[in-house]
Amino acid sequence: MSDDSARRDEADQHRVDPDHTQEVDLSQTQQFGPPPGQAPLLPPQEPDRSSQWAHGPTGQDAPEHHAPQGWSTSEQPAYAPSVPYTPNPHAASSPSAAAARPRRSGPGWLGVFLIAGLAALLAGLGGGLLGGWLGSSDRFDGLDLASSGSNGSTPKPGAGATSRPEGSVANIAAKAIPSVVTIRVEAAGGDGTGSGWVLDDKGHIVTNNHVVSSAANGGKITVVLTNGKQTAAKIVGRDVSYDLAVLKVERTDLRPLPIGDSNDVVVGDPVIAVGAPLGLDSTVTTGIVSALNRPVTPGDANDQSFINAIQTDAAINPGNSGGPLLDMQGRVIGINSAIARVAGNAIGGQSGNIGVGFAIPSAQVRITVDQLIRTGKAEHPIIGVLLDREYQGEGIRIASDTGQTPAVTPNGPAAKAGLKPGDVITAFEGRPMVDPDALVVAIRSKAVGSTVTLTVMRDGKERDVKMVLQGRSD
């Protein structure tokens, strides 16, 4: 793998099939918009401003907010009863019928006063005994939310959790939504919103680095639960290269989402995306896995991420970043992180869903999140080579020595395996390599210390070489 200078070379724009001329680049799916407390960002009514979405850190202004005509948050539609009212068949239908019923005699006024007095006496005795029991026991303390580390009620699964079949989209969504949060960021570089999900019962929340990076050196991060409760969060650790971050809230009563194994996912598997696109919390969309091991490098040269992504056609929009991509068992198999857009179609660099979204595989999430919680930073596996990005032939060529920096790092994994400047890497773990970024993300999808196999061509001959990946923290 290349070092920092090679890794941060300007990424080439991704293009569609050579038969087409439309350029495609990648947009991270953080939604920048109004500061907390304002209404969710909605498209303006005026056509000439419909695509001017706010990009806080870039300094662009947000459009004015307009609610759709005729909408009011206080209005509720009136519904007619679904079953017509049917009179009681035993009710009197005429005066004669009423007269025919026998008269019932009551206890009289004296009886009423005696019964009322006795009831009051019993109520007073019972209340005194109950109050004394509560005051002398610790059972009431268990209801004190502040003393339990919670600052509000915990979101509960929706009705679909019990009224819809197990394994259905509605059932999975109802169970998962309470564990998915909206993340609001206020920082000098701009305000924004994104998504996240509950990792464990210790208050850890997983999201994308690009969602919270503007608040890393001073800012406010707020986690909003699906029931509207808000709680402050702090950054435990974050990593630019993997575009992952872990937050911590002072709550231990949130329900974690189970994590699945992205290595078991195949193209065509149905998936469910949950998050807060455009600030619209608890949004659920569905689709399939469109492709696997898609090399994606969103961000600029100084803030670039390398993702060995799961591609999906589930609708992902700005604001979905950091939210989970679930399988049909309700397990997290990826973190929604980026979307493709047709270049030039969006003012300000953001666009909506076009059916090409990308998620960080859960296999990578497990490794990196564990490191971030333990040490606050992540290790990146390397092979210790500089790559020639000008090379246009088959495979990926190791650069030539420049005299200042050796193309093959001495005592690095590649050097120990016998690789030399000018060698061409044609496959990684049996998978053909045709682009330097594809090799970088493939290497970074492995754990430090893993043994990997590269297919290398030298002087027209191919051979397989094994090497043990070393780690480095940027």
**Residue 67 pLDDT > 60:** no
At 371 the pLDDT is: 95
Look at residue 71 in the predicted model and tell me its pLDDT: 32
The pLDDT value recorded for residue 37 is 41
Question: 125 pLDDT band (50/70/90 cuts)?
Answer: very low
Which is nearest to 358 in space by CA: 279, 243, 450? Answer: 243
Helix (H, G, I), strand (E, B) or coil at 298: coil
Quick one: DSSP state of residue 37?
A: T
* 321 belongs to the catalytic site: yes
**Plot region of 92 (φ>0 → left; ψ -120 to 50 → alpha; else → beta):** beta
Higher-confidence position of 356 and 107: 356
The Cα 82–Cα 80 span in angstroms is 6
> What are the chain's domains?
160-249 (2.40.10.10), 262-374 (2.40.10.10), 379-472 (2.30.42.10)
Phi first, then psi, for residue 444 (nearest 5°) are -75, -10
Between 128 and 82, residue with greater pLDDT: 128
Segment 445-470 mean pLDDT: 95
Helices (H) and strands (E) in the chain, counts: 9, 21
Identify the weakest region by mean pLDDT among 85-94, 191-200, 304-313.
Answer: 85-94
Per residue in 297-333, pLDDT tens? 988 777 789 999 999 999 999 999 999 999 999 999 9
420-448 pLDDT, tens digit each: 999 999 999 999 999 999 999 999 999 99
* Residues recorded for the chain: 474
Task: Given the residues 55, 204, 210, 380, select the one marked as catalytic.
Answer: 210
pLDDT at site 452: 97
Q: Which residues is 182 bridged to in the sheet?
A: 195, 224
Bigger pLDDT: 216 or 474? 216
Phi, psi of 184 (to 5 degrees): -110, 135
Angle at 376 between CA 375 and CA 377, to 5 degrees: 90
Whether residue 152 has pLDDT greater than 80? no
Rounded mean pLDDT, 62-74: 32
pLDDT in the model for residue 144: 30
What mean pLDDT, rounded, does the chain reach? 75
End-to-end CA distance of the chain: 13
Identify the pLDDT of residue 216: 92
In a 3-state reduction of DSSP, which class is residue 337?
strand
In the residue annotation, 243 being an active-site residue is answered as yes
Candidates 239, 243, 281, 327; catalytic one: 243
pLDDT of 135 higher than 70: no
Among residues 321, 337, 351, 362, the one annotated as catalytic is 321
